[in-house]
């Protein structure tokens, strides 16, 4: 029996998908990436914002068509959309045979095989449950980097966000489990470990009574084979001096921090339910750059939040100009049902949201291009990702570049380079967001 797996949404969702793939493999199913060969299909869905919801629904509909024209006999909806809209899926998408929620993915084999035997299946665990992941994941990221999900859910309850309602409150994975998983990944060729959660900085508070991310990082650095450790989703208010010290002292930890701030205007931050003020954001950015001078800071912003005035927008533009983030993404506000922000007055017109997004991204583009040019003449270690058709040209990432979201460096080399190889490169040029360099022999 052949099964196709489609993983949508974020890298945290991808980890769940990889665990499910491991369970399916352990059961003896053959994994295929050819929809024309698949007899069963699992779609791990997302519904964080409107576009993600649309993509998930359209994917389920498209796979449903294969049940009429192809070999597909079973269609399983898993993940966030399945958790949030399970009743609607049963009513409006009868082509879906099985539904499993965000905390029920351990039951993927039971879901597939029950549906294979002609019976509908639904499993929604309590949102307080933390799956035990008693399998070895099938990594789908190319082998040399992998994500390590260190916690599930979120306690912040920002007014625009649906995550606590579909993923539950914050639950840390016990440290011994994470170290065991990281050791297995390293043993199987993973060179770069990327720590993810809804909020990585709060790790351990719920089960150990205090934040344990610094200790976890020091333990991960002891694992042989790991070259880089990268941190994503660090909330600014939870970044401690101890965490900064660990990043500064441990050579394996990339001087890179993904720190979503969403806005800078105090009135908007308050309406968003965020825990920081503009002054505190300036302070933490200043402190990070003082303590770790070559740190690469990535952030995300939401524009067009209910009640955002032109003055708020101008304040955000000035803030971005002054802070000069190395990497920055901007989302237009997406009203999500059953969130406080969706019910707020003074919702912003879509055209205004898009215009503000464009202005922010045009400003950030100038900053990013200048920062790329500043890298010329530097010697940087580069993780090789692959090669181009031209002889002797390879694609890589510096410590400033997380997979899928940041830029690349194109490396000229007379000797053959392999994916996952970490090599020294002299940066010779900058092209927009990307760099060009020569291998240092």
Predicted confidence (pLDDT) per residue in 249-271, tens digit: 999 999 999 999 999 999 999 99
Q: What is the mean pLDDT of residues 144-150?
A: 95
What is the rounded CA–CA span in Å between residue 264 and residue 318? 10
- pLDDT of res. 73: 92
Task: Examine the domain organization and report whether 326 and 214 are in the same domain.
Answer: yes
Q: What is the mean pLDDT of residues 45-63?
A: 88
What is the rounded CA–CA span in Å between residue 283 and residue 30? 52
**CB-based contacts of 318, cutoff 8 Å, min separation 6:** none
- pLDDT of res. 426: 96
Q: How confident is the model at residue 131 (pLDDT cuts 50, 70, 90)?
A: confident
pLDDT of 159 above 90: yes
Task: Examine the domain organization and report whether 85 and 154 are in the same domain.
Answer: no
pLDDT of 124 above 80: yes
pLDDT of 53 above 90: no
Last residue of a domain, one of 123, 158, 189: 123
Q: How confident is the model at residue 172 (pLDDT cuts 50, 70, 90)?
A: very high
DSSP structure string for 179-223: HHHHHHHHHTT--EEEEESS-GGGTTHHHHSS--HHHHHHHHHTS
Task: Examine the domain organization and report whether 150 and 216 are in the same domain.
Answer: yes
Residue 249: beta bridge partners? none
Q: How confident is the model at residue 34 (pLDDT cuts 50, 70, 90)?
A: confident
Q: How confident is the model at residue 142 (pLDDT cuts 50, 70, 90)?
A: confident
The answer to whether residue 86 is domain-embedded is: yes
Last residue of a domain, one of 324, 358, 374: 374
The answer to whether residue 339 is domain-embedded is: yes
What is the rounded CA–CA span in Å between residue 133 and residue 135? 6
Task: Examine the domain organization and report whether 6 and 103 are in the same domain.
Answer: yes
Please check whether residue 437 is in contact with residue 385, taking contact to mean a CB–CB distance below 8 angstroms: no
Q: How confident is the model at residue 327 (pLDDT cuts 50, 70, 90)?
A: very high
Kind of pairing, strands 327-332 and 296-303?
A: parallel
DSSP structure string for 357-389: HHHHHHHHHHHHHHHHHHTTT-EEEEEEEEE-S
Task: Examine the domain organization and report whether 352 and 389 are in the same domain.
Answer: no
Please check whether residue 232 is in contact with residue 198, taking contact to mean a CB–CB distance below 8 angstroms: no
Task: Please state the separation of Cα 216 from the chain's center in Å.
Answer: 19
Task: Examine the domain organization and report whether 320 and 403 are in the same domain.
Answer: no
CATH of the domain at 54: 3.40.50.12160
Please check whether residue 96 is in contact with residue 60, taking contact to mean a CB–CB distance below 8 angstroms: yes
First to last CA, the chain: 49
The answer to whether residue 357 is domain-embedded is: yes
Q: What is the mean pLDDT of residues 224-242?
A: 95
CATH of the domain at 414: 2.40.50.140
Last residue of a domain, one of 374, 404, 427: 374
What is the rounded CA–CA span in Å between residue 401 and residue 382? 10
pLDDT of 391 above 90: no
Q: What is the mean pLDDT of residues 62-74?
A: 87
Task: Pick the closest to residue 197 from 10, 8, 48 (CA basis).
Answer: 10
Task: Examine the domain organization and report whether 416 and 359 are in the same domain.
Answer: no
- pLDDT of res. 65: 87
Q: What residue numbers does the annotated binding site cover?
A: 10, 46, 80, 154, 158, 161
Residue count of the chain: 441
Tokens for 173, please give them: 């994975």
Q: Which of these ranges, 74-78, 135-139, 230-234, 366-370, has the smallest mean pLDDT? A: 135-139
What is the rounded CA–CA span in Å between residue 115 and residue 307? 47
Radius of gyration of the chain (CA): 22
Tokens for 350, please give them: 């879509």
Return the number of other C-beta atoms located less than 10 Å from residue 174's C-beta.
Answer: 12
pLDDT of 130 above 80: yes
Q: What is the mean pLDDT of residues 39-61?
A: 89
pLDDT of 282 above 80: yes
Task: Examine the domain organization and report whether 118 and 183 are in the same domain.
Answer: no
Please check whether residue 135 is in contact with residue 26, taking contact to mean a CB–CB distance below 8 angstroms: yes
What is the rounded CA–CA span in Å between residue 265 and residue 317? 10
The answer to whether residue 132 is domain-embedded is: no
What is the rounded CA–CA span in Å between residue 189 and residue 191? 6
- Per-chain mean pLDDT for the chain: 93
pLDDT of 234 above 80: yes
- pLDDT of res. 378: 94
The answer to whether residue 98 is domain-embedded is: yes
Task: Please state the separation of Cα 108 from the chain's center in Å.
Answer: 22
Q: How confident is the model at residue 37 (pLDDT cuts 50, 70, 90)?
A: confident
Task: Examine the domain organization and report whether 316 and 433 are in the same domain.
Answer: no
Q: Is the model's pTM score more than 0.85? A: yes
Percentage of residues in the chain having pLDDT higher than 70: 100
Return the number of other C-beta atoms located less than 10 Å from residue 170's C-beta.
Answer: 19
Task: Examine the domain organization and report whether 355 and 217 are in the same domain.
Answer: yes
Task: Examine the domain organization and report whether 299 and 275 are in the same domain.
Answer: yes
The answer to whether residue 140 is domain-embedded is: no
Sheet bearing 145-149, strands edge to edge: 145-149, 192-196, 228-231, 253-258, 296-303, 327-332
Q: What residue numbers does the annotated binding site for [4Fe-4S] cluster cover?
A: 10, 46, 80, 154, 158, 161
What is the rounded CA–CA span in Å between residue 152 and residue 47? 16
Residue 82 phi, psi (nearest 5): -65, -35
Task: Pick the closest to residue 4 from 27, 29, 15 (CA basis).
Answer: 29
Task: Please state the separation of Cα 269 from the chain's center in Å.
Answer: 23
Helix 278-291 to helix 241-249 angle, to the nearest 10 degrees?
Answer: 30
- pLDDT of res. 49: 79
Q: Is 250 exposed, middle or buried (0-12, 13-18, 19+ CB in 10 A)?
A: middle
Task: Pick the closest to residue 234 from 210, 202, 201 (CA basis).
Answer: 201
Task: Examine the domain organization and report whether 44 and 186 are in the same domain.
Answer: no
pLDDT of 52 above 90: no
Number of domains in the chain: 3
The answer to whether residue 94 is domain-embedded is: yes
pLDDT of 70 above 80: no
Percentage of residues in the chain having pLDDT higher than 90: 83
CATH of the domain at 256: 3.80.30.20
The parent domain of residue 271 ranges over 145-374
The answer to whether residue 302 is domain-embedded is: yes
């Amino acid at each position: 029996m052949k099964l196709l797996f489609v993983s949508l949404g974020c890298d945290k969702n991808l980890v769940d998908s990889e665990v499910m793939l491991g369970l399916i493999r352990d059961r003896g199913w053959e994994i295929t990436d050819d929809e024309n060969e698949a007899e069963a299909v699992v779609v791990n869905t997302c519904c964080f914002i409107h576009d993600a919801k649309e993509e998930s629904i359209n994917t389920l509909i498209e796979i449903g068509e294969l049940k009429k024209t192809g070999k597909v006999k079973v269609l399983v909806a898993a993940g966030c959309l399945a958790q949030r809209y399970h009743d609607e899926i049963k009513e409006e998408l009868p082509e879906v045979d099985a539904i499993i929620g965000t905390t029920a993915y351990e039951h993927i084999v039971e879901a597939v095989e029950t549906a294979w035997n002609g019976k509908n299946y639904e499993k929604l665990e309590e949102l307080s449950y933390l799956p035990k992941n008693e399998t070895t994941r099938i990594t789908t990221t190319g082998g040399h980097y992998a994500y390590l999900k260190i916690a599930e859910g979120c306690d912040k309850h920002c007014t625009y966000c649906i995550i606590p309602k579909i993923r539950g409150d914050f639950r840390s994975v016990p440290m011994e489990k994470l170290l065991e998983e990281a050791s297995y990944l390293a043993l199987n060729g993973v060179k770069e470990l990327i720590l993810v959660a809804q909020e990585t900085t709060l790790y351990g508070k719920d089960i150990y009574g205090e934040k344990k991310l610094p200790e976890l990082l020091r333990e991960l650095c002891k694992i042989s084979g790991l070259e880089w450790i990268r941190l994503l989703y660090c909330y600014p208010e939870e970044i401690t001096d101890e965490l900064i010290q660990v990043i500064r002292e441990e050579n394996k930890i990339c001087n890179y921090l993904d720190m979503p701030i969403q806005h800078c205007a105090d009135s908007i931050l308050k309406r968003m339910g965020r825990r920081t003020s503009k002054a505190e954001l300036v302070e933490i950015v200043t402190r990070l750059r003082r303590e770790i001078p070559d740190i690469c800071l990535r952030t995300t912003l939401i524009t067009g939040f209910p009640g955002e005035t032109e003055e708020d927008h101008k304040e955000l533009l000035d803030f971005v100009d002054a802070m000069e983030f190395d990497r920055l993404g901007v989302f237009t506000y997406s009203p999500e049902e059953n969130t406080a922000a969706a019910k707020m007055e003074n919702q912003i017109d879509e055209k205004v949201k898009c215009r503000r997004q464009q202005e922010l991204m045009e400003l950030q583009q100038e900053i990013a291009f200048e920062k790329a040019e500043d890298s010329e003449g530097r010697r940087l270690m580069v993780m090789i990702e692959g090669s181009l058709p031209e002889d002797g040209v390879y694609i890589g990432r510096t410590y400033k570049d997380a997979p899928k979201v940041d830029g690349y460096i194109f490396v000229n080399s007379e000797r053959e380079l392999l994916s996952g190889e970490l090599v020294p490169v002299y940066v010779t040029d900058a092209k927009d967001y990307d760099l060009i360099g020569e291998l240092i022999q």
